[in-house]
Amino acid sequence: PNDFATQIKGALLNAFDLTFNARGIGWNWGKGISIPPSTDPRVRKGPLDFLVGYVTTQTFFDFVLFAQQSWDLSPSKYPTHRHGGTIFNPDLPPLLRYGKVFAMSFLCTLGLCTSFQATYYQVGFIAMTIFGQDAEQWPPLFQNPFFATSIADFWGTRWHQVFKRSFVVCGAKPAARFFGRAGGVLGAFLVSGIMHDFGVWGAGLGTELSSVTFFFLMMGVGCILEVIWRAKTGLKVQGPLGWLWTVVWIFFWTSWIVDAWARRGLIVSKMSADGARPALYWVKVAQRWVERHGQPLQ
């Protein structure tokens, strides 16, 4: 456009898009990032759909968070926030002990999915109502991550790709230059691990490279093992056995990072005010009903 006012408006809209459009959708630097297909391309979504999606997903996330926070955390010898503790309870028999670990790891993963998705809906709604964007600029964030049939499938396609460019530019490319393809894979996951360790550092008890960053490095190791398997056998990791392998590998190492988060109080932290938590509201409703019709809750 030739008029100066429109140029300013366009610059501001582009600045907003560059700030929040981490996958580079619509930009030349986002071509190598996997974008999940729309669930139904015949249905054109609008701002109202994103608003409804935000409310429902945020509500579901709060119930997942409440379920996660309902588990007891055990005292730990490692650095622990005053409200934190370990997810490994040595007093429980092995089956219950590791069943609890798996359940808490699953809830944490589900909580991450729903919280990311809720935020995505929220920002997308703002982008469409205030900045005039359309739904094509906000395609799905996840692609059924719990159905992944390999480690590479999970991290390269099904999990959100919001930070992929940063991990590739800052980790994969420089590492691959010196250590080859395998080094590039580990370099990308190393940068990812360090970024997530900063989140642990924000809790006030320092970082924990041996759990948080190590988790992401082991995800890179899993990807490399899949490449080696295919090279040795000629078979690609996929199908039901690939799904089982993915679940076992990811959730085994997930327990390490979830335990680090739990000990530092990240699991018991409040994501929103008590008055705005639908899960707590329904707990009060249930408690009121029990007090009227049965024994009071202790």
Q: What is the pLDDT of residue 141?
A: 93
How many Å apart are CA 80 and CA 82, to the nearest integer?
6
Q: What is the pLDDT of residue 103?
A: 96
Torsion of CA 111, 117, 118, 120, to 10 degrees: 150
The tokens describing 129, both together, are 């109502």
Q: What is the pLDDT of residue 83?
A: 85
Containing 41, the helix (H) or strand (E) segment is: none
Burial letters 19-32, b for 16+ CB under 10 A, else e: ebbbbbeeeeebee
Longest dimension (CA), the chain: 74
How many Å apart are CA 287 and CA 161, to the nearest integer?
41
DSSP type of residue 74: B
Task: Write the CA distances from 165 to 25, 105, 160, 268, integer angstroms.
Answer: 12, 27, 12, 31
| Matching residue, tokens 């409310």 | 55
User: What are residue 298's DSSP bridge partners?
Assistant: none
| pLDDT tens per residue, range 6-51 | 678 888 888 888 888 888 888 888 888 889 887 766 667 889 999 9
Q: What's the CA angle centered on 80, arms 78 and 82, to 5 degrees?
A: 150
How many Å apart are CA 63 and CA 111, to the nearest integer?
9
pLDDT tens per residue across all 298 residues of the chain: 455 556 788 888 888 888 888 888 888 888 888 898 877 666 678 899 999 999 999 999 999 999 999 999 999 988 888 888 999 999 999 999 999 999 999 999 999 999 999 999 999 999 999 888 888 889 999 999 999 999 999 999 999 999 999 999 999 999 999 999 999 999 999 999 999 999 889 888 889 999 999 999 999 999 999 999 999 999 999 999 999 999 999 999 999 999 999 999 888 887 888 888 999 899 888 888 888 887 655 5
φ/ψ bin of 274: left (φ > 0), alpha (ψ from -120 to 50), beta (otherwise): alpha
How many Å apart are CA 94 and CA 80, to the nearest integer?
23
Long-range CB pairs of 109-113 (<8 Å, 24+ gap) are 109/251, 109/254, 110/64, 111/61, 111/64, 111/65, 111/68, 113/142, 113/145
Q: Amino acid identity of 17?
A: D
The tokens describing 44, both together, are 């054109």
